[in-house]
A and B are shown apart, each in its own frame.
Chain A
Amino acid sequence: MPRRLIYILTGFLILLSGGLTTVVEGQTLFARPDTTPDFSRYTNADECVVAASRLIQADIRERELWADTAIHDPTRRTQPPPDTARNVLRVCMEKFSFADMADAPNELIMAYLLAGQGEKALEVVHMEFARLIDSGATGEVLSDRFLSTLQSVRGMVHVDMDFINDMYVLGTSYIPADSLLQTVGLHALVMTIAKDVGDSAFAWQAALNAKDAYERGEDNLPTSQELANMVKVIYVSVLDHLGRNSMMDSLAVSTESYRNAKNNIWRIVMKDSTVELPDQVGHAVTSLEGDFWYEATGFNKDGGATNYSSISPRVVPTPGRNTVVTSLQGCHTYTTRVDAGRHNGSNPGCFSRAATMKRLKRDFPEVDFIVITGTYGVVGQAPPLSEPEEADTLAKYYLSFLEMPVTLVVGKTPSIRLEEPDRRRVDLPLPALESFQADGKPVLGIGTTAIIDSEGKVVMNGGQITPRYEDDIRRLLTALRRQNSE
């Protein structure tokens, strides 16, 4: 009998014989494995909250495992907390008093929300704010506190959207109408929360409220320039949400009208300011330069490259074709393992970018995808490589192993050596990136992405080719496709 089958059957027998009970009993309160709550061991409300938190963390770990290569799901990050965690609190609420947790109101609110007792959570909010008002807190303090409370329970929105609705109503009473930053901030925050759960009608209404609030109080901007800018940035994000369809429609007509639409929004917000729209949308780009060129020569049904070859330099972006150009620096370098490109905190890594590129290539086969990167001198743990060797290695890594469906342009990175005894190598800017310009300025920064239309004009620059920006890129490419077909 195969060994694996023996293990499965043995595990089954242990389960049937109640052997698992022994494992759970042997488990300490704060130890892994933490996916099986053991109510008999919890002696107070605090321990229940800790257990629920542990279960949520375990669920997040599980979800994030290889999540960067999973099929794109915009709501993935705001999935509801696991039932096990909610069950812990439901059971615990019947056994223990949670009144002792009054000094940690946010934790208590979350506990009630998890247990499905939104009305009690709201009571805690009322009590907390009554206490604050009694202690003399007014205006800004109350507003800040309210927004931070709302922000902290944002992850609970899937549990109780009614609570968010109640909080929205409550917020308008706590936040003074003349406090423009907090008022617009409240509407925008609720808009974001509603977008997270996919309630587009709610999000639309909150965005309209934010727009109205801003336009009503526009003459009452904060005196601090920093805070005034913050309000404007929030307003831009609201307008972006409200005007998304019209912007995409304008791009479907031409890149010029898209640029004009963006400029119009910018002018509305900046009003008397002379600051220009800080991007290069609508400007023509120069051709890419690089020292080593490789090209994916076949694609599978998932959009991944099946083969690649070294090619001579050519004109890129190619006239007549929409192009997505991305620079990859630091996705594999500064690591000692070439396979360390998995999602890691704020660094999306190579795996995530490759997965996004493949999905986009699958859905937009007519678009050219270009990756530009530089030599660094080192790949993996091997002794330093020559530039051609390193370029070949990078091609093998990006095009063969990661199956990026792209044309890969590798530039030689110039560097200097610090004087003795320091001797560190300091990289200088990559000429291939510096020379790829629009409007006299480089189009790409380290790790950023640009979309170029078929006339060689910038449609988008900034952002990264990662799941986070995938929706935006997808919308723009769809509009460009319509533009080309019309």
Chain B
Amino acid sequence: MSEDFKFTESLVESHRLIEEDRANEAIDNVLSHTSDRGDVSITVISHWTGSIRWGRNVASLSSDSRDVIVQIGRRLHPRTGGRGGLATTNQLDPASLKGAAELAEHYAHETNRPNGLDLDLQRPNHKSIEGDVWSDATFNRTVTENAGLIRDITTGSKSEGLLSAGYVEVIGTNITSYSRDGWQKVNRYYGEMTQAQASVTVRHPKGTGSGWAGQSSFDFARLDVPAMAKRAFDKCVQSIDAVRVEPGRYTVILEPQAAHSFFHVLLRTLNRFPQEAGGGHYTLGYDALIDRHRTKLGMRIVDERITMFHDPEHPLTGTMAEPGLEAVTYINKGVLSALATSYSYALNELLETSYIPSRGSYYVAGGDTSMEEMIESTSRGFLLTRVSAPSVVDHQSLLTTGVTRDGLWLIENGRITKAVRNFRFTESPLFMLNNLEQIGETVPVFSPVTHRRAILHSRGSGITPVVVPPIKVRDFSFTSTVDAI
């Protein structure tokens, strides 16, 4: 067994992530087997996930997963657009690194067919802003600590005669990269992030009630798992023996998690190119004079109390670095003020090199109305915990359908009076946000990293912190009742 293989082994025993020096050592090792010709990019990604999951009050999984990925990209004719070679290894010993470097070199030679003009027409380096998304509180969480949390929750649900399920997950990642382009310009980068996320679902054994709560943040200290679990318990208990109410248009208070589902539908469509291609809901119409579709940029599209932005440096919406990622305000006091663009779009349509990358993270500025005030000021309406599987059925109006879940209550004369069976809703976030009655204080909502690859391959968009206020809207359309709890 070689010395370096021992290192990999000891990594499993004691290191959750490899350190920057060790990653740079691996990069230098690869470079020593790479010729000076063409361009090269080497990325060392170290990833760790600690996860505990449970179902029906019994822990089902306690995992500790860690991996190192070394990606080597080579192109011999970067100026002429020739394809390149890519090789990947998760071993850090010299023999493996040498093998991977040679493989990338071999692939680059195999695909080495210059198919373009030798011109200095590369895109410029874009600055990228990075938030502080590292937390020792997250990274230092131990299995024992997490298990303790789970034990308390499962014990509590057992004693109440309820069933609980969920997970607590902590993630750490660092990325060390080196790139050298065809003009020998070298870029080095090091970034690190953590993510903590927890979800608790509590259900009545007879399937008559259900409650849910979830939180996510880069910092575990910002998660209050016991309080979260209590909220899920309470919602479950309070939603037992729900009654049926006739569907129709009602005033609805959407808790932040429910509001997030609708804002997220909005966010996904905030891209400029499709709107100007003529098929979007922000398309104003075709202007024959300029032979282009005009958009609603600069026009009010929702209530003026709505401001939606993202700042990668904001303490609550921080993300890792990504080329071109800067702060953007999509909707400013109800006015559509920016749409995401690609570099190609910005260059060709605006003759600019700065662009607005699309992202999954956002912040909706809130008001100062409390949930209690919202309930007290409602003569007849509903309080909605969250929605399930919202899907857009009409892309022109953004009409979205889905079902309510994990707690829906009737409000009568300023008081919550009874739990209600779930509804199917068919509503557009655009209509909804034009029927805004009240807006509450913003809070971070559950926006988990659902796939490890999201972090490994897309940096900034990998973690998507979201901050949303609760909102009260009128004439929200429930179209039918559903039997699911």
Contact = CB atoms under 8 A, between A and B. Distances in A.
Contacts of B297: 421-422
**Which 8 residue pairs of A and B lie closest in terms of their CB atoms, listed nearest first?**
A339-B116, A380-B121, A381-B123, A401-B117, A382-B121, A336-B344, A421-B298, A384-B351
Interface in B292-320: 292, 294-295, 297-298
A379 B121 contact: yes
A425 interface: yes
A342 to B, nearest CB: 8
Contacts of A3: 106
A381 B119 contact: no
Contacts of A423: 350
A382 B123 contact: yes
B481 to A, nearest CB: 42
A393 B120 CA distance: 10
B347 A381 contact: yes
B343 A424 contact: no
20 contacts: A336-B347, A337-B81, A337-B116, A338-B119, A339-B81, A378-B347, A381-B123, A381-B343, A381-B347, A383-B124, A396-B117, A400-B117, A418-B290, A418-B292, A420-B298, A422-B294, A424-B276, A425-B349, A425-B350, A426-B291
Interface string A443-472: 000000000000000000000000000000
Contacts of B81: 337, 339
Contacts, number: 78
B353 interface: yes
A42 interface: no
B350 A380 contact: no
Contacts of B106: 3
A217 interface: no
B269 interface: no
Secondary structure at the A interface, as helix, strand, loop or mixed, is loop
Contacts of B350: 423-425
Interface in A367-386: 377-384
A161 B312 CA distance: 68
Contacts of A337: 81, 116
A424 B117 contact: no
Nearest to B115: A339
Interface in B348-386: 348-353
Given A338-B116, A381-B122, A426-B290, 12 more contacts: A3-B106, A334-B348, A337-B116, A339-B81, A383-B124, A383-B347, A396-B117, A396-B119, A397-B119, A418-B290, A421-B337, A426-B291
Contacts of B343: 336, 381
B400 interface: no
B347 A393 contact: no
B238 interface: no
Nearest to A425: B351
Nearest to B121: A380
A454 B331 CA distance: 62
Interface of A: 3, 333-334, 336-339, 377-384, 393, 396-397, 400-401, 418, 420-426
A426 B117 CA distance: 27
A383 B80 CA distance: 17
B123 A338 contact: no
Given A381-B121, A382-B121, A393-B119, A339 B80 contact: yes
Interface of B: 80-81, 106, 115-124, 276, 290-292, 294-295, 297-298, 337-338, 343-344, 347-353
Contacts of B122: 380-382
Given A421-B298, A426-B290, A339 B347 contact: no
A422 B295 contact: yes
B274 to A, nearest CB: 15
Nearest to B81: A339
Given A418-B290, A420-B298, A421-B337, A339 B353 contact: no
A411 to B, nearest CB: 18
B197 to A, nearest CB: 36
A482 to B, nearest CB: 39
Nearest to A420: B298
B444 to A, nearest CB: 30
B116 A424 contact: no
A339 B351 contact: no
A375 B94 CA distance: 51
A446 to B, nearest CB: 12
Contact of A422 (B115, B117, B118, B298): B298
Contacts of B120: 382
B467 to A, nearest CB: 25
A397 B121 CA distance: 12
Given A337-B81, A339-B80, A422-B298, A378 B117 contact: no
B116 to A, nearest CB: 3
A337 B124 CA distance: 14
A421 B341 CA distance: 14
Nearest to A378: B347
A397 B117 contact: yes
A425 B116 CA distance: 27
Given A339-B80, A382-B120, A426 B292 contact: yes
Contacts of B119: 338, 379-380, 382, 393, 396-397
Nearest to A351: B115
A380 B81 CA distance: 11
A381 to B, nearest CB: 4
Contacts of A339: 80-81, 115-117
A27 B62 CA distance: 38
A422 B345 CA distance: 13
A294 to B, nearest CB: 15
A69 to B, nearest CB: 12
A367 B120 CA distance: 34
A426 B294 CA distance: 12
A423 B350 CA distance: 6
Contacts of B352: 384
B425 to A, nearest CB: 33
A135 B298 CA distance: 59
Contacts of B116: 337-339, 401
Contacts of B291: 426
A418 B121 CA distance: 27
A377 B351 contact: yes
